[in-house]
Amino acid sequence: MNAHSSPIVVFDLDGTLAETAGDLIGTLNVILAREGHAPLPLEQARDLLGAGARALIQRGFTVAGASLTPERLEALFHDFLDYYGDHLTDDSYLFPGVVAALDRLEAAGLRLAVCTNKVESHAVALLDALGIGGRFRTIVGKDTFAFSKPDPRHITATIERAGGDPMRAVMVGDSKADVAAAKAAGIPVVGVTFGYTPVPMRELAPDWVIEHFDALPEAVDALLARESVKPAA
C-alpha cells in the first residue's frame, strides 16, 4: 500500500451519477429507424444499457429481431457516437442528491473518480455539461485502456490513475458489470436501485444497496471501516 495514496470512491456514470437513458435510447432509436426498424420503448430498452454503445446497438437490434454483421455493427457504432455526441444532454440529468453527496465525500477527504463503459470523450463532455466534471481526479472510459468492466482491471487502473489507495476504495454502480468488476477486484461495491439492470440490484448482491444519494456517505464510511479491519493481503 502506498502510504501517500488516498481513500477513493469510484463511480459508474450511466444509471449511477446520471439518468442518461433518454439520450442513449433516443440515439439507438435514430439508428434503428435509419435501418428501417421500429423504435424501442424507453422503459423496455433502458435495461440494455451498461456495457457500452457497441453492446447497446447489438442488444437493440436483437430485441428488434434484426441481425448485424460485425462490419455493419462497427459502422453503426460510429454513427451512434457521432449522433450521441451532439445530444449528450438533451434529456440527461444528475440523479437527485448527487452534488450534495459529492460535497460530503470530498469534505471527508475522499478522492473521486469515474469508471464508465461510455467512451472517455463523451464521459468527460457529459460530466462537464452536467457541472461536475471537475470533481473527479480522473474520468476513465471504455476506450481508455485495453479492458473494461466487468474486467476488474478497469476499476483498479482507474484507482491507480487517480492516485487512490486500492485498499481503501469503494465502487458505486448500477449494473451487473459494476458489481462483478468490483467483486473480482476485491473492492466493496455500493449498488444503486435507480439505474439500469434487468435483474433487481439486490439480487446482484452488492455489499451495500442505496435507493438515494443521501445514503451514500454513510455507506462509504461503513465499507471503508470494514476494509480497515481486514487482514492485509
Ligand X SMILES: O=C(O)COP(=O)(O)O
19 binding Mg ion? (CB under 5 A)? no
Whether 90 contacts 22, CB under 8 Å: yes
Range in contact with Mg ion (rule: CB under 5 A) among 14-22, 29-37, 93-101, 157-165: 14-22
Q: Which one of the spans 73-81, 85-93, 114-122, 183-191 is the region binding ligand X (CB under 6 A)?
A: 114-122
Spell 146-168 as b/e; 16+ CB within 10 A means b. Answer: eebbbbbbbbbbbbebbebbbbb
C-beta of 10 vs 224, nearer to ligand X: 10
Q: Which stretch binds ligand X (CB under 6 A): 11-19, 37-45, 105-113, 164-172?
A: 11-19
- Residues 69-108 vs ligand X: string with x where CB under 6 A? ----------------------------------------
Closest CB 94 distance from ligand X, rounded Å: 13
Is 155:171 a contact under the CB 8 Å cutoff? yes
Q: How far is the CB of 61 from Mg ion (least distance, A)?
A: 21
Interface residue with ligand X, options 9, 56, 88, 171 (CB under 6 A): 56
Return the number of the residue (18 or 110) whose C-beta is nearest ligand X: 18
Q: How far is the CB of 175 from Mg ion (least distance, A)?
A: 5
Q: Is 90 known to sit in a ligand binding site? A: no
Q: Taking CB within 5 to 8 Å according to partner kind, which of ligand X, Mg ion, none is near residue 51?
A: ligand X
Instruction: Tell whether 207 is in a known binding site.
Output: no
What is the pairing mode between strands 208-210 and 189-192? parallel
Cα dist from 183 to 69, 95, 105, whole Å: 33, 25, 22
221 catalytic? Reply is no
Q: Which of 10, 17, 74 is nearest to 192 (CA)?
A: 17
CA distances from 73 to 61, 90, 216 (A): 10, 25, 38
Among 8, 10, 12, 58, binds ligand X (CB under 6 A): 12
Q: Is 128 annotated as a binding residue?
A: no
Identify which range of 57-65, 72-80, 83-91, 174-182 contacts Mg ion by CB under 5 A.
174-182
Q: For ligand X, how many residues bind (rule: CB under 6 A)? A: 14
Residue 174 touching Mg ion (CB under 5 A): yes
Question: So which residues are the catalytic ones?
Answer: 12
Binding site for ligand X (CB under 6 A): 12-15, 24, 49-52, 56, 116-118, 175
